[in-house]
């Protein structure tokens, strides 16, 4: 298996949430063909029709059966049962790439698909998604955690690069710690902004979000700089 295997694929997406529709759109922009997407709720159907208007909305088994790369963009709690259920009904295919986007899982959760001959990949973008076209531009430079068996790791990395991201390898055993780091960053930053905005609102400050924006951005940038290595040619 070579990185070229990830070159031109028929991509099916299970889950028309904020992440699935955006990543599918990014893969289409890289030249892959979108074979179908599953959507259940009214919101997910509307999102799929908006972001991917020419992609058929299909039942999950049909999406899987007609695709060379299956993108599983579902909540982490639903992923184990979904993978096992598709294995029980014989929908996984030998040689098929199966990629999930859950932060806390590596490829062990895809064991039922792997037993059927599928090739497992775990790729998580360290980004908050809106589920709109705005996210496509934000993918550029976003870091993606990649976990995969060594022989197919280059495929996962190549897919990330095609979507505009920066891949970095996370070991199977380290995925829970990675997920905790991501969740901590998101939850704490959101909670702190909400609390600060509330205090400003209580004293009658106009547009607390606009007041806080420069402060929060500069504070976060300074904190991030302390944890980013300075390159030799970096004037800072």
pTM assigned to the model: 0.85
Spatial separation of the C-alpha atoms in residues 106 and 145, rounded to whole Å: 10
Q: pLDDT per position in the chain (236 positions), as tens?
A: 344 445 589 999 999 999 999 999 999 999 999 999 999 999 999 999 999 999 999 999 999 999 999 999 999 999 999 999 999 999 999 999 999 999 999 999 999 999 999 999 999 999 999 999 999 999 998 999 999 999 999 999 999 999 999 999 999 999 999 999 999 988 888 888 899 989 999 999 989 888 888 888 788 778 878 887 754 454 44
């Amino acid at each position: 298996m070579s990185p070229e295997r990830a070159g031109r694929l028929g991509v099916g997406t299970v889950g028309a949430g904020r992440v699935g529709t955006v990543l599918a759109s990014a893969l289409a922009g890289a030249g892959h063909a979108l074979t179908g997407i599953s959507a259940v709720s009214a919101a997910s159907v509307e999102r799929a029709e908006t972001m991917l208007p020419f992609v058929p909305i299909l039942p999950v088994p049909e999406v899987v059966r007609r695709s060379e790369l299956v993108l599983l963009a579902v909540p982490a709690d639903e992923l184990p049962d979904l993978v096992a259920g598709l294995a029980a009904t014989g929908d996984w295919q030998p040689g098929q790439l199966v990629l999930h986007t859950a932060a806390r899982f590596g490829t062990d959760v895809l064991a039922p698909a792997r037993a059927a001959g599928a090739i497992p990949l775990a790729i998580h973008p360290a980004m908050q998604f809106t589920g709109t076209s705005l996210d496509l531009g934000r993918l550029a430079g976003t870091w993606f955690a990649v976990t995969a068996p060594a022989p197919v790791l280059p495929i996962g990395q190549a897919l990330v690069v095609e979507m505009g991201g920066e891949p970095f390898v996370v070991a199977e055993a380290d995925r829970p710690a990675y997920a905790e780091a991501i969740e901590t960053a998101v939850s704490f930053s959101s909670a702190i902004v909400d609390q600060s905005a509330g205090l400003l609102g209580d004293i009658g400050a106009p547009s607390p979000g606009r007041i806080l924006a420069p402060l929060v951005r500069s504070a976060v940038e300074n904190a991030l700089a302390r944890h980013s290595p300075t390159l030799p040619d970096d004037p800072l």
